């Protein structure tokens, strides 16, 4: 029997994926797993039972990843589950930037009591005219789950699309339209495109990537769309670029005091994944990840440990070991099991930077003594035996 806690409301269609072997708890001290969306976890004290945290969404800034790793707690996210919702809002943002629809709507509201509204609108509408996106060049930085969808959709809208991602995955490459131009450098994309949409994670190498230097390489009147992370754009540089007119529009899904209210900034209150479908998809994927890990030991979409999969656990016992990525760990594990005359039927080992994960299937029962001695090996973070 497993216990799970929800730190935020999680879509019921996801919760329903738990079977009778799962019980909901309101206390983290007794939880085997935690489901979370936006709740801050950095100041939480984790119970010794906690084995996994699943973020029903992509970003994990609210979770202390290293602390979790050192305590042998696997953190999952749900990449791609909200991709379509974000893609649709990016397209909406691009259309709102191309034509001053918001300005026009505001004008109508301000003049709603004018008895001659329709006639006055015909005179006023030229102030809100814009341009069509058909035939314009769109640059997509980052061709992951969302970037690929944005790029492909823009092709169908008649845009000329440039994509840049030096680390594009095989799966993403297969999904990418063959009509997309592959930019060799991000500078090439900056120089060519009328619209630039950012879809990269917030890493030390990407924070502030849209800065004064990058903007100086772009076309005058460029429109920049940021539905990825606020920290990817240097806020001060963007405000200056908007006020000077070198950037025509900045559309962002991340409201900050710095950018809110600035002329030609369209600021949306973080609505990218706020659709019923996205929330349902994230919840279902998060629960699926948790169940597969708790029941089979498989890791899929972890952000602090390597992904590793040995399929459904068959007869016998499955030993799962979260440990530091240091030499001779496998030798110590297998050597200890050999001394106990335990036959290994299947084994997998994966590493990710400073952490690693080992799964071992054996055809015998694993005693508490063996489990304890495995856990005492230097570098081991957590041992779990699934019978």
**Paired residues of 53 in beta bridges:** 34, 75
Helix/strand/coil for 369: helix
Strand order in the sheet with 195-198: 181-182, 160-164, 137-141, 195-198, 222-226, 247-252, 265-267
What is the Cα gyration radius of the chain? 25
| Lookup result for tokens 């600021």 | 267
| Lookup result for tokens 């710095």 | 258
Q: Which of the residues 55, 229, 301, 323 is marked catalytic?
A: 229
Q: Which long-range contacts (CB under 8 A, 24 or more apart) does 151-156 make?
A: 151/176, 151/177, 151/180, 152/176, 152/177, 152/180, 153/87, 153/91, 154/91, 154/94, 155/179, 155/180
Q: Which of the residues 99, 212, 270, 324 is marked catalytic?
A: 270
Hey, what are 291's tokens?
A: 């169940």
Distance of CA 343 to the CA centre of its chain: 40
Q: Which of the residues 16, 66, 132, 258 is marked catalytic?
A: 258
d(CA 18, CA 295): 12
Helices 368-375 and 329-339, packing angle to 10 deg: 160
258 is catalytic: yes
Closest CA to 278 of 86, 112, 28: 86
For 3, 4, 40, 194, the CA distances from 49, given in Å and listed in that order, are 9, 11, 20, 52
DSSP 38: S
Among all residues, which ones are annotated catalytic? 229, 258, 270
């Amino acid at each position: 029997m497993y216990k799970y806690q929800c730190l935020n409301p999680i879509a019921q269609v996801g919760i329903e994926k738990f079977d009778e072997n799962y019980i909901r708890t309101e206390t983290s001290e007794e939880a085997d797993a935690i489901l979370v969306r936006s709740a801050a976890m950095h100041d939480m004290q984790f119970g010794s039972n906690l084995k996994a945290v699943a973020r029903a969404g992509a970003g994990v800034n609210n979770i202390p990843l290293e602390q979790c790793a050192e305590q042998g707690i696997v953190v999952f996210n749900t990449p791609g589950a909200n991709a379509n919702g974000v893609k649709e809002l990016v397209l909406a943002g691009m259309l709102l930037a191309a034509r001053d629809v918001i300005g026009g709507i505001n004008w109508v509201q301000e003049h709603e009591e004018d008895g001659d509204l329709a006639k006055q609108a015909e005179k006023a509408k030229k102030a809100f005219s814009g341009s069509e996106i058909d035939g314009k060049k769109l640059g997509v930085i980052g061709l992951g789950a969302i970037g690929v969808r944005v790029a492909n959709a823009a092709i169908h809208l008649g845009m000329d699309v440039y994509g840049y991602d030096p680390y594009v995955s095989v799966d993403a490459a297969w999904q990418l339209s063959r009509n997309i131009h592959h930019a060799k450098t991000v500078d090439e994309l900056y120089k060519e495109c009328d619209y630039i949409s950012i879809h990269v994670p917030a890493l030390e190498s990407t924070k502030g990537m849209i800065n004064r230097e990058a903007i100086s390489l772009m076309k005058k009147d460029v429109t920049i769309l940021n539905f990825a992370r606020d920290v990817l754009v240097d806020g001060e540089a963007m405000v200056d670029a908007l006020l000077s007119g070198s950037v025509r529009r900045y559309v962002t899904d991340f409201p900050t005091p710095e950018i809110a209210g600035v002329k030609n900034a369209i600021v949306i209150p973080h609505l990218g994944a706020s659709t019923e479908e996205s929330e349902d998809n994230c919840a279902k994927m998060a629960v699926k990840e948790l169940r597969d890990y708790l029941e089979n030991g498989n890791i899929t979409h972890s952000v602090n440990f390597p992904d590793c999969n040995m399929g459904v656990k068959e007869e016998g016992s499955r030993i799962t070991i979260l440990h530091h990525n240091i030499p001779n760990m496998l030798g110590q594990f297998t050597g200890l099991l050999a001394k106990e005359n335990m036959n290994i039927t299947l084994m997998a080992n994966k590493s990710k930077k400073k952490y690693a994960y080992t799964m071992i299937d054996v055809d015998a029962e694993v005693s508490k003594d063996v489990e304890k001695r495995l856990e005492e090996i230097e570098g081991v973070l957590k041992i779990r035996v699934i019978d």
